[in-house]
Homo-oligomer: A and B are copies of this chain.
């Protein structure tokens, strides 16, 4: 909504939808709200500067204005083109959340108000990233933001599809800044896109995907700036063939990576109640608000990774508990994701062989039915991603 050019791009999408007989509901983000949910346009940013210690409840009230402002601009633009548009706040649109200010979860959607406006032929604009508690408090959704709003509304309305407009043309097989022949995927499963998002791809938040998945509403990841079809996110569905096509056509769908993690190896020794000790360690991390990943419980040790910036804090906590940690700083997690991994033997072997041939040291590995992760030194990350992209022929 920031420039006239972009407004034209948005309105042309709306116009197209209406011409094709759809009743579109559009969820808007604040101008400037990108990765950081609290980053927004200069003005609200300036207000936040004046208010460094604003309580979360009031910060949410303030930030919710960002989407109202965008929404008002879109209503005005659409009306000037002859559409009848109406703006609903998250609360007015029936987005009911819990009371976790700054990171609220949608507990349900009451779509009555949206349906009423659609029935009147209105184009409905909903302020994203926000909701309302049962007792009328304004909340923001934190992670996932406006995408989550869109998914929740899509599910509540049993929409034909949820289109997520981004600044990229779709989900890619790997980060194109690293892999030259990375390409846009036509179709992925909900699980695949969730795994890729968890593993570092930032196009859409898993929370938004999980909501759409609950009712099998297709997601389409598209670019605001082009007419490319983008990536269709849909469920595996044996009867329909779509899912079957995905899993039989390919084993690996994409490669994700997360740099800047530290591996911690805690020697717990051959003590009694080892399981209890392990639990104590993870409880201590959780209490300190440190996210842990890549957990591997071994007979005389426990391994896990934390983000580089919280590693000193984690090490300190372990010391206070009487543990010395073996530390491998500056690692990267490289993941291959594919709904087809589950049924195909030897994928892990292929992966290990390829990385070994490329002289990449594997510090740790793990796997689930749709993902295999390896931990490597950060300086090997690019080689690892490129090698695996080629090995699994993702560029073709």
What residues make up the interface of A, taking CB atoms closer than 8 Å to B? Answer: 41, 43-44, 47, 50-55, 57-59, 61-62, 64-65, 68-69, 71-73, 75-77, 79-80, 86-87, 89, 91-92, 136-138
CB atoms of B43 and A58 under 8 A apart:
no
CB atoms of A86 and B58 under 8 A apart:
yes
CB atoms of A76 and B91 under 8 A apart:
no
Inter-chain CA distance A223–B87, complex, in Å, is: 38
Inter-chain CA distance A137–B68, complex, in Å, is: 13
Closest residue to A65 on the B side, CB-wise? B65
CB atoms of B137 and A92 under 8 A apart:
yes
Chain B residues in 8 Å Cβ range of A138: 89
CB atoms of A55 and B69 under 8 A apart:
no
CB atoms of A91 and B54 under 8 A apart:
no
CB atoms of B72 and A59 under 8 A apart:
yes
Other A-B pairs beyond A57-B86, A89-B138, 9, CB < 8 Å: A44-B69, A47-B69, A61-B71, A61-B72, A61-B87, A62-B69, A64-B68, A65-B68, A65-B69
- Which of B54, B57, B80, B86 contacts A53 (CB under 8 A)? B80
CB atoms of B68 and A72 under 8 A apart:
no
Q: A89-B138, A92-B137, A138-B89 are in contact. Are A62 and B72 (CB under 8 A)?
A: yes
Chain B residues in 8 Å Cβ range of A69: 44, 47, 62, 65
CB atoms of A53 and B79 under 8 A apart:
yes
Inter-chain CA distance A52–B59, complex, in Å, is: 29
Closest residue to A46 on the B side, CB-wise? B43
- Which of B41, B47, B51, B72 contacts A54 (CB under 8 A)? B72
User: Which 9 pairs of residues, A with B, have the shortest CB-CB distance?
Assistant: A51-B76, A43-B43, A65-B65, A62-B72, A54-B76, A58-B75, A58-B87, A58-B72, A47-B69
Inter-chain CA distance A89–B137, complex, in Å, is: 9
Inter-chain CA distance A317–B91, complex, in Å, is: 46
Chain B residues in 8 Å Cβ range of A50: 73, 76
Chain B residues in 8 Å Cβ range of A76: 50-54, 58
Inter-chain CA distance A80–B62, complex, in Å, is: 17
| Nearest CB on B from A84, distance (A) | 9
The 18 sampled A-B contact pairs (Cβ below 8 Å) are A44-B69, A50-B73, A51-B72, A51-B77, A54-B76, A55-B86, A57-B87, A58-B71, A58-B72, A58-B75, A58-B76, A61-B68, A61-B89, A62-B68, A62-B69, A65-B65, A65-B69, A91-B136
Inter-chain CA distance A87–B101, complex, in Å, is: 14
Chain B residues in 8 Å Cβ range of A80: 53
CB atoms of B61 and A73 under 8 A apart:
no
Chain B residues in 8 Å Cβ range of A57: 86-87
Inter-chain CA distance A207–B50, complex, in Å, is: 34
Residue of A47, A80, A138 with highest tally of chain B CB at under 10 A? A47
Inter-chain CA distance A136–B94, complex, in Å, is: 11
Inter-chain CA distance A62–B43, complex, in Å, is: 14
Closest residue to A113 on the B side, CB-wise? B136
Closest residue to A91 on the B side, CB-wise? B136
Chain B residues in 8 Å Cβ range of A92: 136-137
CB atoms of B55 and A75 under 8 A apart:
yes
Chain B residues in 8 Å Cβ range of A71: 58, 61
Chain B residues in 8 Å Cβ range of A136: 91-92
- Which of B54, B64, B75 contacts A75 (CB under 8 A)? B54
Chain B residues in 8 Å Cβ range of A59: 72
Chain B residues in 8 Å Cβ range of A65: 65, 68-69
Inter-chain CA distance A61–B55, complex, in Å, is: 23
